Amino acid sequence: MTTATLPDTHADEGGPGWVRRNRMRLAPLMFLAPGVLFFLVYVIFPVLESFQISFYRWDGLGAREFIGLENYRELSTDPAFEVSLVNNLKWLLLYLLAIPGGLFIALFLNQTVTGIRIYKSLFFFPFVISQVVVGLVFTWFYDPTFGLLNVTLEAIGLGPVNVLGDPRLATYGIIAAGLWPQIAYCMILYLTGLNAVDPEQVEAARLDGAKRWRMLWFVILPQLRPATFIAFVVTIIGALRSFDLISIMTNGGPFGSTRVLSFYMFEKALSEYGFRMGYGAAIAVVLFMIMLLFIGYFLWSMWRQERMP
C-alpha cells in the first residue's frame, strides 16, 4: 500500500542510499510485518476459510464435498439450532445488565473512606478468576442439596430450586454466574470514569438544584460515555463468547436447553460420532454475522473518534 504514494524515486534503487531515502516508508513495513503476518495466518485467513468450509460436507479427514447452502438449509430446520439462537439472544440482552450493575456498585464505592482501596480490589477480583472456576463455584452455589442458594432460600422459608436442572431456569442461572465477573469489570471501568468527572460541572449542577437521579442522568452519565462505550463493547463480546461456563456448568443440558451457538458449534464439529466441520462452520458463520453487526458499530464509533482531532 505504500507504493501508491511513492513519489519520484530515481535511479539507484537498492543501495543504502535508497533505503535511507525511503526509510519513512520502509520502517512501518518492517515493524508491521511480523505482527500482521501472524494475525493474517491465525485470524483473518481462518475467518475466510470458515466461510468456505461452511459450504462443504467435511469430516475433517477425507475429501471435502461441496454441497452449497445445504448446511444452512439444515440449520433452518434444526430445533437445537433454534434453541441455541434464542439462548444467544437471552445472553446478549441479560448480559447487558452488567453495565447498570457495574455502575451501581461503582457509585456505591466511589467514596474516600478508610480501606476503600482494598474494598474496591476485593469487589473487582472475581473478574480475574478463570470462567472455569467461576462455573464450578456457581455450580456448587446452585446445588439443590447443599448449595448456598438453597440453604439461604430454605432459611427464609422458600422451597428449594434446582436452577441448573430446570430447563426453564438453567440458562438464566448460567447468565447470572457470567454476570458476576462482568459486573466487576464494568465497575472498574466506571470507577475510573468517575475519577475523571469534572468537579466544577458537578458543583454547578448542584447549585442549579440537580439531585441524585437528575444529576446522574444529565450530568454524570454524559461524562461517563467513554466508559459506557467500552463496557458495552466488552459485555457484548463476552456474551457472544460464552462457552466455558456452559461447558462446565451444564454441558448444554438439561436436555440441550442451555446450548448457545458457540457451544453447539463445538459439539457438532468435534463430536464423538463424527466431525461435522462444515455444519459447525455454518453455525460459526451465523454467530460471526451477529457479531459483525456489533463489530461494524464499534469500528464506526472508533472511526468517528479518529476523525476528531
Partner 1 sequence: MFPRPIQQSSRGAQTTYQSLIPVVLLLWLAPLLAVAFFSIKPGADFTAGNYWGMPSSFEGAENYGKVFFESDMPRYLLNSVLITVPTVLGAVALSCMTGFALGVYKFRGNLWIFFMFVAGNFVPFQILMVPVRDLTLELGLYNTKMGLVLFHVAFQTGFCTLFMRNFIRALPRELIEAARVEGVAEWRIFWFVVLPLMRPAIAALSVLVFTFIWNDYFWAVVLTQGAESQPVTAGITSFNAQYRASYHLMSAGSIVAALPPVAMFFLMQRHFIAGLTLGAVK
Partner 2 sequence: MQMTKRTAAAVVAISSAVAMPAAAQENGNGSDLSGTLTIFSDMSNPAPRAVMEDMAARFDEMHPNLDVEVTIIDREAYKTQIRNFLSADPPDVANWYAANRMRPYVDAGLFEDVSDLWDEPEIQENLASTEGALTLDGKQWGVPYTYYQWGVYYREDIYEELGLEEPQDWETLKSNCQALIDSGRKCFAIGTKFLWTAAGWFDYINLRTHGYDFHMQLTAGEIPWTDDRVRETFANWRELINMGAYIDNHQSYSWQEALPFMVNGDAAAYLMGNFAVAPMREAGLTDDQLDFYQFPAINPDVEMAEEAPTDTFHIPSGADNKEAAREFLRFVVSAENQTRINAADGLGQLPVNSAASVGDDEMLQEGFELLSSGAPGGLAQFFDRDAPAEMASVAMEGFQEFMVFPDNLDDILQRLEQARQRIY
Q: Which amino acid is at 52?
A: Q
Cis peptide before 167 (omega within 30 of 0): no
285 and 50 in contact (C-beta within 8 Å)?
yes
Out of partner 1, partner 2, none, what residue 255 binds, judged by CB under 5 to 8 A for its kind, is partner 2
Site map 245..284 versus partner 2, x via CB under 8 A: ------x-xxxx----------x--xxxxxx---------
Binding partner 2 (rule: CB under 8 A), the pick from 1, 145, 304, 307 is: 145
Residues 63-122 contacting partner 1, CB under 8 A: 107-113, 116, 119, 121-122
Query: What binding mask, one character per residue, do residues 229-268 give for partner 1 by CB under 8 A, x or -?
Result: -x--x---x--xx-xx--xx------------xx--xx--
Q: Which of residues 7, 16, 34, 157 is near partner 1 by CB under 8 A?
A: 34
Output the furthest CA–CA distance in the chain (Å, rounded): 90
# residues contacting partner 1 (CB under 8 A): 111
273 contributes a contact to partner 1 by CB under 8 A: no
Give the C-alpha separation, 264 to 249, whole Å: 15
Nearest alpha carbon to residue 181 among 224, 233, 149, 137: 137
> Among the candidate windows 7-15, 76-84, 161-169, 220-228, which touches partner 1 by CB under 8 A?
220-228
CA distance 251 to 257: 10
Minimum distance from CB of 249 to partner 2 (Å)?
10
Nearest approach in angstroms of CB 214 to partner 2 is 47
Our CB check for partner 2 shows the closer of 101 and 165 to be 165
Give Cα 246 to chain centroid, integer Å: 15
Q: What is the 3-state secondary structure (H, E, C) of 198-220?
A: CHHHHHHHHHCCCCHHHHHHHHH
Residues 6+ apart with CB under 8 A from 226: 193
* Interacting residues toward partner 2 by CB under 8 A: 59-61, 79, 143-145, 162, 164-165, 251, 253-256, 267, 270-275
